[in-house]
Chain A
Amino acid sequence: MRLTLAWREALWAFVFLAIPLAFFLYFRILPAFQALWLSLYEWHADPSQRRFVGLEHYARLLEDPVLRRALFNTLLYTLLGIPSQIALGLVIALLLQRVPFGRDFFRAIYFAPYVTPAVAVAWVWSWMLSPHFGLVNELLALLGIPPQPFLQSPSQALPTVTWVVVWQNLGFQVVLFLAGLESIPRQYYEAARIDGAEGWRLFRHITWPLLNPVLVFSVVIGTIGYLQLFTQVVNLNFTDQGGPLNSTLTLALYIYQLAFLRFQLGYAATVTVLLFALILLITLVQLKLLTRRVEL
């Protein structure tokens, strides 16, 4: 049988795609299903001694106060972090776009935190936020505000961690928005100006709708990142991870603690199933609600 050129090209493409696909299936998809299976067993190093417990771990999910706290915190991180990150990222990108020179320099400065190791970031911020020696409290004192405990306070720790994460992600967000802004054709603005539109109206009717794809991408990817928040939380309070008093605990950190500090891998797998379902659900809802077809 002779294949047409198009068929042959397609076949080759599939051959090349098969390798990453196999990799993806084996290292990503398969373990996800294994976790589902694992969640039905009590963990034991010897597979033959793993006891089937059915839905026992799922029942435990319902009455685990620490899990509830981790879930609540995780959602709160997302709700605080995503809007802050998007709003600040957009404002900075719009400002940078107006900078006539040295744009790359500023871009590099904003991007630097994103490529700084989380451990270093956590270390520097925990000093800056120290109630006794920190720069932030020094500045607050100038404004007549008494020293704040920040990371050491059960009520302030979560917003403080969120701030550090936002600060770290901001550079990436700015670069995304800058790319999005550059891709909007100049002619639209020129045409609108001829029609007498200025300032806010240009933003509202041209920039904002045309940034939608970047916005959707940012929200979806950012949300997944916040739902999996781990590294910064661990490093900002290393000897009481997720503390004080579980106030910064996330689902990902709780999973880690259950699995690798307490060797309860069966129950940990159950929490991963919950996290997986949560991410899937939120992502689908976001894609449905946020995606707009734009016609000018």
Chain B
Amino acid sequence: MAQGVTITYWQYEFRSKVEAINELIRRFEAQNPGIKVVHQTFPYDAFQQKVAAAIPAGQGPDVVNLYYGWAPTWVKAGYLVPLPDDWMRRLDQDFVAMAQAAKVGGKLYGVPTAVRSLALFYNKDLFRQAGIAGPPKTWEEFIAVGQKLTVKQGGRFTQIGYGIAPDGQDHHLVREVLVRQFGGKPYSDDGKRVLYQGEAGLKALSFYTDWVRKHEIGIPGFFPGNNGYRDGFIAGRIAMIIDGSFAIGTIQQGARFNWGVAELPLERPGGRKANFGSFWMHGLTPLATGPKREAALRFLAFITSEETQRYWLEKVGELPASKNLIRDPKLSLHPIYGPFVLSLAYAKATPFVDEAAQRKVMVDAINRVLLQGMDPAQSLRLAAEEEQKILDQFWR
């Protein structure tokens, strides 16, 4: 290895992740005496802004951590370079299926250490008090439980059964979970066409918005603030939420009651399973040239190795991205990780090309129905048109 190469790694600030990377860098540098890794972090809100400005100025990271959904916009604007071909083989062989979303236009732009999926968190104490035996297995049961656990006084709710959050995880729930469970597909296989405007999509959006409009098992914005649905659950005022595995740590720290996790309910017993998977990945920027590129690839291999993934699970609590590791029964039978791990087998990552804009399309589709009383069919049609434009714009 060349002497004295220094590479820079960037991620956003999240304590356990920052500590984990610091430790991993220490181990990596011990194994690779010629390479020094500089670790820089930024607040989440400022992260993309820093990247946007720093890389054109030649001052940014060589290896960068990014949400998989950002990759296409970053690639198009020249912020990421493709990984060598042997990495593509490694990804196909060793990583869970959703990691395929790290490819853009047939080239691979990043590799994850960990992945996430969605599951149902439920308040066991509230369930027991209401005489409910266990988590709902179907949406029908889910609605019945939700109604039982919703308390309304006058016009105001004091407790709700389900933490409705269109701008939390629910836009994923509608798009990736309900549409598929109802027999549809949100997008064409190449990700270039919106398909959710069909029958299954309409059923999904109508069904979801009925939780508020018809069944009254929840209300958006019950708790204000970012991730109010999660805060409300932690405060014991919301009986059930659908959230990602990334929420486990926060809930573990905050909740002062017995809670459990279950796989997402199904349309009917034995019905089709679906889940939304997502991940943060490590990519290579155009600044990693010459000896830095070699060093950066070596670091990338190190922080995505199975050994690191095991350490990451222990330290950060995020699920490993390797097919091998998630087969471990210790993990799939774990009372909290288990439901998430089981979902990884069938979870799909939405093929975003412009994540911020596409997220908004679905959030708005839901809000037009919930807040303006628009007919779900009309709202969905508007959303599909808008999103198709975004896809066409990207792929033209």
Contacts and interface: CB of A to CB of B under 8 A. Distances in A.
Interface of A: 43-47, 49, 123, 126-127, 129-133, 137, 141, 146-147, 149, 151-154, 238-240, 243-246, 256-257, 259-263, 265
B73 A46 contact: no
A153 B373 CA distance: 12
B109 interface: no
B56 A130 contact: no
A43 B156 contact: no
Interface in B132-189: 154-158, 165-168
Nearest to B72: A263
Interface string B208-227: 00000000000111111111
Contacts of B158: 132
Interface string B15-32: 000000000000000000
18 contacts: A45-B55, A45-B78, A49-B78, A127-B224, A127-B225, A131-B221, A132-B156, A132-B219, A149-B371, A154-B371, A238-B226, A239-B227, A240-B367, A243-B363, A256-B49, A260-B52, A262-B356, A262-B357
B354 interface: yes
Nearest to B45: A234
Given A49-B78, A131-B156, A263-B73, A151 B363 contact: no
B364 interface: yes
Interface of B: 48-49, 52, 55-56, 73-74, 76-79, 154-158, 165-168, 219-227, 286, 354, 356-357, 360, 363-364, 367-368, 371-372
Contacts of A141: 154
Contacts, number: 95
Contact of B225 (A44, A126, A152): A126
A44 B78 contact: yes
A260 B49 contact: yes
A263 B363 contact: no
Contact of B168 (A47, A239, A263): A239
Contacts of B357: 262
Contacts of B155: 146-147
A46 B286 contact: yes
A120 to B, nearest CB: 12
Contacts of A256: 49
Contact of B371 (A131, A152, A239, A263): A152
A127 B222 CA distance: 10
A132 B77 contact: no
B266 to A, nearest CB: 27
Contacts of B165: 239
Most B CB within 10 A of own CB, among A244, A256, A259:
A244
| 10 closest A-B pairs by CB | A45-B78, A126-B224, A261-B356, A240-B167, A238-B226, A263-B77, A260-B49, A239-B167, A152-B221, A44-B78
A129 B223 CA distance: 11
A244 B156 contact: no
A131 B224 CA distance: 9
A19 B257 CA distance: 62
B71 to A, nearest CB: 11
A154 B168 CA distance: 18
A239 B219 CA distance: 16
A244 B52 CA distance: 27
Nearest to A130: B224
Contacts of A133: 223
Contact of B167 (A153, A243, A246, A257): A243
B372 A245 contact: yes
Given A46-B286, A146-B155, A239-B227, A263 B52 contact: yes
A53 B286 CA distance: 24
B225 A43 contact: no
Nearest to A154: B371
Nearest to A138: B156
A137 B372 CA distance: 21
B221 A260 contact: no
B77 A45 contact: yes
Contacts of B224: 126-127, 129-130, 151
Most B CB within 10 A of own CB, among A133, A256, A261:
A261
B167 A132 contact: no
A257 B220 contact: no
B104 to A, nearest CB: 13
B352 to A, nearest CB: 11
Contacts of A46: 56, 78, 286
B225 A238 contact: yes
A152 B228 CA distance: 13
B363 A240 contact: yes
A129 B357 CA distance: 28
Given A45-B286, A239-B167, A263-B76, A123 B371 contact: no
Nearest to A259: B52
A94 B220 CA distance: 43
A129 B367 CA distance: 19
B362 to A, nearest CB: 11
A263 B357 CA distance: 11
Contacts of B56: 45-47
Given A45-B56, A46-B56, A154-B371, A147 B363 contact: no
Most A CB within 10 A of own CB, among B167, B221, B286, B372:
B221
A119 B225 CA distance: 11
B257 to A, nearest CB: 19
A263 B79 contact: yes
Contacts of A265: 52, 77
Contacts of B156: 131-132, 137, 147
Contact of A123 (B49, B52, B225, B363): B225
Nearest to B357: A262
A59 to B, nearest CB: 14
